[in-house]
Structure 1
Amino acid sequence: METPASPRVLVVGLDPYRIGGSFDPAPLAAAIDKGLATFAEHGVGVETCLIGPDGDDEEAAVVAKALRSHAWDCVVVGGGLRQSDDQLALFEQVINLIHRHAPAAAIAFNRSPSTMYEAAARRIE
């Protein structure tokens, strides 16, 4: 259970159910859920902001709303946004939104869903 003094982390990434193509989203979604459970094990509050690369929503508005919803100690930016040349413009947009709407938050990058907590832990006290 999160306490008022516990760190708050926002994870921004691609929604595995909106990646499309022949990609099976279930294993990635399960890995994300497992990675998020690690935060609770360490008493760290976490929320997700999963966006779609499919253009069905206004990614900037969705991310900005999530960033303004709390005072975040850290924002973890998922690998799906960073590791694809196709997502470069969206990645840049997310980083600039973090800078604008959560300037006090540390920014961390994970390697996989299983390393979300480790990425945040490097940046939170």
Structure 2
Amino acid sequence: MALGPVLVIGLDPVRIPGWDPEPVVAAIARGQARFGEHGIEADLCLVVPDDHPEREIVAALTRRDYACVVVGGGIRKHEPLLELFERVVNLVRQHAPGAAIAFNSTPDDTAAAALRWLR
């Protein structure tokens, strides 16, 4: 039985200035590979908070009928991004009302977060 598809919404480590994105890029790649190991199609929507990401998020949410949307820890855990986190959750509710909402701890456990709701 095929599971998914899943949409992962997170911060784009390459487009956020001031720090080395490579460890996060590698972790995202490992997380995406884990989806593949479970036979789950997973799309990424990586955004920059200061670029008014709502348009990108809505476009991603409406591209497919997602079974689950995972909101990344970079958006959820960083207190200055609390308002963005709220907007993301409400955009998911509005544009993908049938999708479960999951939260990861790190990019490495994103598939595990989705699997909690896909089974």
TM-score (norm 1): 0.91
1:9 pairs, out of 6, 11, 16, with 6
1:96 aligns with 2:90: yes
- Structure 1 residue runs of 5 or longer lacking an equivalent are none
| Distance in 2 of aligned mates of 1:115 and 1:6 | 17
User: Once the two structures are aligned, what percentage of the paired residues are identical?
Assistant: 48
| Distance in 1 of aligned mates of 2:67 and 2:94 | 15
- Structure 2 residue runs of 5 or longer lacking an equivalent are none
Alignment of 1:29-108 (within 5 A): 29-53=25-49, 55-56=50-51, 58-108=52-102
After TM superposition, which residue ranges in structure 1, 4 or more long, deviate above 3 angstroms? Answer: none
8 Å CA contact 2:3, 2:118 repeated in 1: no
> What is the RMSD computed on CA atoms of the aligned residues?
1.2
* Offset at residue 42 of structure 1 (A): 0.7
* Offset at residue 19 of structure 1 (A): 2.1
